[in-house]
Amino acid sequence: MRTPSWVPLLYVGPAALIMAAACLYPVLSAFQLGLYDWSMGTPWSEARWVGLDAFAAAFKNPRVWSSLWTTLMFAGVCVTAEMLLGIALALALERPVRGTAIFRTLFILPMMIAPIAVGLAWRYMFDAQFGLINAVLGLFKIAPLTWLADPTLAFAAIVIADIWQWTPFVFIMMVAALANVDGAVIEASRIDGANWWQMTTLVKLPMIAHVIAITLMMRLVDAFRVLEVIYVLTFGGPGDSTEILALHIYKTAFVGQQLGVAAAISVLLLVVVAGLSFAALRISNPLDSKK
């Protein structure tokens, strides 16, 4: 007897409705706030309707586009490096070797540390006078660098901190995916004479392509909304060289008290992240029957 088409909806429907409400309500609230001029600490009844003026101001503000460009560069560099390092580490520790459990535990420790603590730790390490980074460079007769006072070096600093913290996430996802690869397929490729590189690039990675796409999407979303580490490490400085869009939204809302404009920018950020997520899912969709 064939199961009626409405039965899956009966099971999935309640969870889907709850998730939709939990996701849509903040989005609609942000869009509503973007239509008003309102400051925190004042009654909502005193909010002044401004229509789409806040959205127009956000689109015309050069700092918004500068922050968006910084965010794109930050996400591109960090996510690319994290994906490559995470996959490489997972492949390196795929085979059972002595100390594998210890290495895997050490690799996931950075992800378990609170973002504020990560920012503080790296801020001390990048300190121009007493930082560990400059102390190590001094061993190689390299002059101390003003990491957090130079725009290029400050951007490199936030990239290094993010890569250190979130490469373990990619590593965990790849280890789990590689563990589920069918051993019979690997053995068949080995019998056919495939070497390690051929088995990795032509067999293993294509078989976990869907997991790679999902991991890539999750890291892209996280990279666009990262705030705490950069807030503590540089606060967007020097100037606005490390001011990503999430930090600009924070400054606009809580420093400039322009909540309507901040909400409008957050809607722009949502559109960008949603577009990137959709593109990542389309690259490798396990439900796509055309593939």
pLDDT digits (tens, 9 = 90+) for 166-188: 999 999 999 989 988 888 888 88
Angle at 166 between CA 217 and CA 117, to 5 degrees: 135
The confidence score (pLDDT) of residue 285 equals 60
The confidence score (pLDDT) of residue 27 equals 85
Average pLDDT over all residues of the chain: 87
Question: 23 to each of 16, 227, 251, how far by Cα in Å?
Answer: 10, 20, 24
Nearest residue to 179 via CA among 92, 103, 105, 90: 90
The confidence score (pLDDT) of residue 283 equals 67
Question: 42 to each of 37, 91, 177, 179, how far by Cα in Å?
Answer: 11, 56, 51, 55
- Please state the rounded mean pLDDT for residues 186-201: 87
Give the predicted TM-score (pTM) of the model: 0.86
Please name the residues in contact with 233: beta carbons below 8 A apart, sequence gap of 6 or more. 119, 122, 123, 126, 148, 157, 158, 161, 242
| Most confidently predicted of 10-14, 241-245, 255-259, 283-287 | 241-245
Q: Which CATH number fits domain 49-283: 1.10.3720.10, 3.30.479.30, 3.40.50.300, 3.40.50.150?
A: 1.10.3720.10
Residues of the chain with pLDDT > 90: what percent?
Answer: 38
Please name the residues in contact with 64: beta carbons below 8 A apart, sequence gap of 6 or more. 58, 245, 248, 265, 268
> Which region, left, alpha or beta, applies to residue 141 given φ > 0 means left and ψ of -120 to 50 means alpha?
left
pLDDT band, very low/low/confident/very high, at 289 (cuts 50, 70, 90) = very low
The confidence score (pLDDT) of residue 284 equals 57
Distance of CA 105 to the CA centre of its chain: 22
Please report which helix (H) or strand (E) contains residue 216, including its range: helix 209-225
Nearest residue to 56 via CA among 274, 268, 271, 269: 268
Among 158-162, 243-247, 277-281, which is the least confidently predicted range? 277-281
Q: Which two tokens stand for residue 180?
A: 């589920």
- All structural domains of the chain with their residue ranges: 49-283
pLDDT band, very low/low/confident/very high, at 210 (cuts 50, 70, 90) = confident
Read off the pLDDT of residues 102-140 as tens digits, 9 standing for 90 and up: 877 788 888 888 999 999 999 999 998 889 999 999 999
Read off the pLDDT of residues 260-282 as tens digits, 9 standing for 90 and up: 889 999 988 888 888 877 776 67
Distance of CA 208 to the CA centre of its chain: 20
Maximum pairwise Cα distance, the chain = 78
Residue 218 CA to residue 211 CA, distance in Å, equals: 11
